[in-house]
Structure 1
Amino acid sequence: MSLKIQPLVPIPEETARVAQLAFPKGTVATKLRDAFQQLYQDESFQTLYSRRGPPAFSPWRLALVTVLQFMENLSDRQAADAVRGRIDWK
Structure 2
Amino acid sequence: MSLHPEPISPVPSQTAKVARAAFPKGNIYLQIRDTLGSIYLDEDFDHLFSVKGQPARCPWRLALICIMQYMENLSDRQAAEAVRGRIDWKYALSLHARR
What TM-score does the superposition give when structure 2 sets the normalisation length? 0.82
Contact 1:36 1:64 in 2 (8 A): no
CA distance in 2, matches of 1:52, 1:25: 45
What residue in structure 1 maps to residue 75 of structure 2?
75
5+ residue gaps, structure 1:
none
Over the residues paired in the alignment, what is the CA RMSD in angstroms?
A: 1.3
Cα 1:66–1:32, aligned 2, differ >3 Å: closer, same or farther?
A: same
Q: Runs of 4 or more off by more than 6 Å in structure 1? A: none
CA distance in 2, matches of 1:74, 1:18: 24
What residue in structure 1 maps to residue 42 of structure 2?
42
CA distance in 1, matches of 2:42, 2:15: 24
CA distance in 2, matches of 1:44, 1:64: 12
CA distance in 2, matches of 1:53, 1:6: 17
Matches within 5 A, 1:49-88: 49-88=49-88
State the shift of 1:59 in Å: 1.6
Contact 1:36 1:60 in 2 (8 A): no
CA distance in 1, matches of 2:57, 2:18: 26
Contact 2:40 2:64 in 1 (8 A): no
Contact 1:45 1:59 in 2 (8 A): yes
Contact 1:3 1:49 in 2 (8 A): yes
For 2:70, the aligned partner's letter is F
Contact 1:33 1:64 in 2 (8 A): no
Q: Deviations over 1:13-46 (max 9, x none)?
A: 1110010011012211222234252x32211211
5+ residue gaps, structure 2:
91-99
What residue in structure 2 maps to residue 5 of structure 1?
5
